[in-house]
Amino acid sequence: MALPAQKFEAADGLLARHAAPEAGAVWAVEARDAAAARLRAMGAPMRRDEYWKFTNPAALTIAATQAAVFAVDEEPIFDDIDRVKVVFVDGVLRRDLSDDLSLEGVEIETLGEALAKDIHWARDLFGVLEARGQDPVDRPMAALNTAVAGEGLVIRVTGKAPKPLSLIYVHENETSDAVLHHLVRLEEGADFTLLENGPAAARFNKVVEVDVADGAAFHHVRAQGRDHERKTATHMFARLGEESAYKSFTLTVNGVLTRNEQVIEFTGDNAAATVAGACAGDGDEFHHDDTVFVTHDAVNCESRQVFKKVLRNGAVGVFQGKILVQPDAQKTDGYQISQGLLLDDDSQFLAKPELEIYADDVACSHGSTCGGVDETAMFYLTSRGVPKPEAQDMLVLAFIDEAIQEIEDEALADDIRDLLAGWLSRHRA
Amino acid sequence: MLEIKNLHVKLEEEDKQILKGVDLTVEPGQVAAIMGPNGSGKSTLSYVLSGRDGYEVTDGAATLLGEDILELEPEERAAAGLFLAFQYPVEIPGVGNMTFLRTALNGQRKARGEEELSAADFLKLVREKAKALKIDADMLKRPVNVGFSGGEKKRNEILQMSVLEPKMCIMDETDSGLDVDAMKLVADGVNALRDAGRSFLVITHYQRLLDHIKPDVVHIMADGKIIKSGGPELALEVETNGYADILAEVA
């Protein structure tokens, strides 16, 4: 079937929207050109695309950035966590607001610096995992990102990092249209935690490519919140070596359009990956989409997808999750659960769980549920004197906690719990 | 303490009358038992009094210490001093037993204009009460009723009762699913709470529980009404002869 011409016109429009980044080394220019060519070949995302049918990408693709007001009183998060802070304002690194880019066992450079040099591992990563992740599902916003991104961090972890690297995205300019591209390479046996939070920009496109070598462990905790008019597309592409671990958790509250994609590929045996997320949305302006694709191409790997969404007053939550098990990926253990908790009749949870299995000795399970607050539990709590709003918050937090429990670090998990409890207390019926 | 007058209740969803004019008074400090055949409306009475959704009061009134409770929300009834020990205590995964109990206690205190209890004072209070009911620290830490045995669930109900110190306790078939030892433990807990300012309405099918919790009065309920009231001997009569004689006598 021929693709509509406007898909391709829109792709050119996307590329034209962003100023060309600094040229960089030859390989970097080639990688960007290849990404632009990928985008031109697949076209811009449109509603009729299979993986955009629940989420209208228009807010991401239209030419003009709509002004987005944002809460300046953002709740502090990760405040009690000892971490190295790096601040981006409207997608631009601000060294004056950041800590020194130094962390034991970790080399940190800017994307601009790294792409101007000939760093072999960066060359083997930049746009590479993104390109691998384009098959079998197009991810045009990620190709756009590789083609135009000039800002980001390039992180190489050689040992066990003593504390997390915390990326803080500040939004000041009302119409900023920011693109960030981070590269993370964990060498054999390395251990590293990446934290992310903050509104970032009026419109925000972010890609993180994570290469986890044998025996290494990558942890990621992200909080997206407070900016009600957020329009963002984020992608994480990860490749997992033997006996490596990848754990990612995202909390999303508010936001007009949030599309978080994660594309995980197991290439080494005995590795484990968890992609978890919780979202809380209030109002018919809220639209949140988690799209996850896990490919098992190695033996005895375990993957978990755990997503919980609490929606009220017309909010929409989307989950598209896939587990693909290649013919040789025997002993795969794949798990996927997505659950929507609707606090009224106006909200929607749209789920598309997919399993595609070509190996014969695997254990894959998936489930998706959608429902309201358990009335029996509500009665039990209130009959003991718990006020109704607090009783509902308790049940909502209990519902979401299964996703939060996927965070390994208890202090980080508690931070997320506090943030969510605060949000719930401000968003009662 | 509790005064129920001509209470008529139907199911909200269907046209089915369950209570057909219940008249019942529980005096302060009294332990009243309600017995009756299946389907007589005993559990409905307990739910309607505690404010569960799904029932419609078509006539009559119920007051607790002179206050009309039928218009109140469940949490307001709790703050006013009403407590329902559930026949089937609800399991709530993800909500800690202690968090739940503390929020409940402080919710009630706040509603009554009393000062909230600090975490330390609360912990002390619960530990003391839990010990008497042989509830260990592990049970307190777990999510509400999750993984509890039948006996543990009922003991947890009594623990809540002893921490919240309600004035009017309704116990809905607390003996169901309990072995003899567990029943004794639960009864001891209840007996320890007996007080001139506290009343109990004990709903049960069997005399057995009433051997341990001695009632002052026994009411027989059938077809949505109290059909006979008497002393503890009435429970013994039911135990020996069943309800048939009493039903026949009234009819």
Residue in A308, A386, A390 to test binding to B, most B beta-carbons within 10 Å? A386
Measured between CB atoms, which of B50, B95, B101 is closest to A383?
B50
Any A CB within 8 A of B13 CB: no
Q: Which residue of A has its CA nearest to B143?
A: A398
What is the distance between the alpha carbons of residues B238 and B251, in angstroms, rounded to a whole number? Answer: 16
- Which tens digit of pLDDT belongs to each residue from B200-209? 999 988 888 8
* CB spacing of A402 vs B94 below 8 angstroms: yes
Q: Which residues of B touch A424 (CB under 8 A)?
A: none
pLDDT at B126 over 90: yes
Say yes or no for a CB contact (<8 Å) between A385 and B94. no
CB contact under 8 A, A386 and B92: no
Question: For residues B6 and B9, what is the distance between their CA atoms, to the nearest angstrom?
Answer: 10
Please tell me which residue, B181 or A310, carries the higher pLDDT value. Answer: A310
Say whether pLDDT at A261 is over 90: yes
Q: Is the pLDDT of residue A75 over 70?
A: no
What is d(CA A340, CA B211) in angstroms, rounded to the nearest whole number? 49
How far does the CA of residue A379 sit from the closest CA of chain B (Å)?
A: 6
pLDDT digits (tens, 9 = 90+) for B96-118: 999 999 999 999 999 999 999 99
When scoring B46, B47, B50, B52 by the number of chain A Cβ atoms within 10 A, the one with the most, hence best to mutate, is B52
A2-33 residue pLDDT tens: 668 889 999 999 999 988 888 889 999 999 99
Q: How confident is the model at residue A65 (pLDDT cuts 50, 70, 90)?
A: low
Chain B touched by A398 (CB under 8 Å): yes
Q: How far is CA A128 from CA A121, A144, A266, B147, in A?
A: 11, 14, 15, 48
The residues facing A211 across adjacent strands are A185, A239
pLDDT value at A42 more than 70: yes
Residue A39: is its pLDDT beyond 80? Answer: yes
A387 with B111: Cβ contact below 8 A: yes
Q: B104–A384: do the CB atoms touch at under 8 Å?
A: yes
Confidence of residue A250 (pLDDT cuts 50, 70, 90): very high
Residue spans of beta strands (DSSP E) within B12-126: 17-26, 31-35, 55-64, 67-68, 82-85, 92-96
Please judge whether A381 and B104 are an interchain contact, meaning their C-beta atoms are less than 8 angstroms apart. Answer: yes
Q: Report CB contact under 8 Å: A376, B90.
A: yes
Instruction: Report strand pairing: A177-186 vs A348-357.
Output: unpaired
On chain B, the residues whose CB falls within 8 A of the CB of A384 are 78, 83, 100-101, 104, 160, 164
- How far B98 CA sits from the closest chain A CA (Å)? 12
Instruction: Determine whether the interchain pair B89/A388 forms a contact, defined as Cβ–Cβ distance below 8 Å.
Output: no
Q: Work out the angle at residue A13's Cα, subtended by the Cα atoms of residues A130 and A91, and round it to the nearest 5 degrees.
A: 60
The answer to whether residue A429 neighbours chain B at the CB level (below 8 Å) is no
Is A364 an 8 Å CB contact of chain B?
no
Q: What is the mean pLDDT of residues A309-325?
A: 97
- Closest-CA distance, B209 to chain A, in angstroms, reads 24
List of chain A residues whose C-beta atoms are within 8 Å of the C-beta of residue B105? 385
Residue A77 pLDDT grade (very low, low, confident, very high; cuts 50, 70, 90):
confident
- Confidence bin at B235 (pLDDT 50/70/90): confident
Cβ atoms of B213 and B31 closer than 8 Å? yes
Look up residue B45 and give its two tokens: 């009475």
Segment A347-372 mean pLDDT: 96
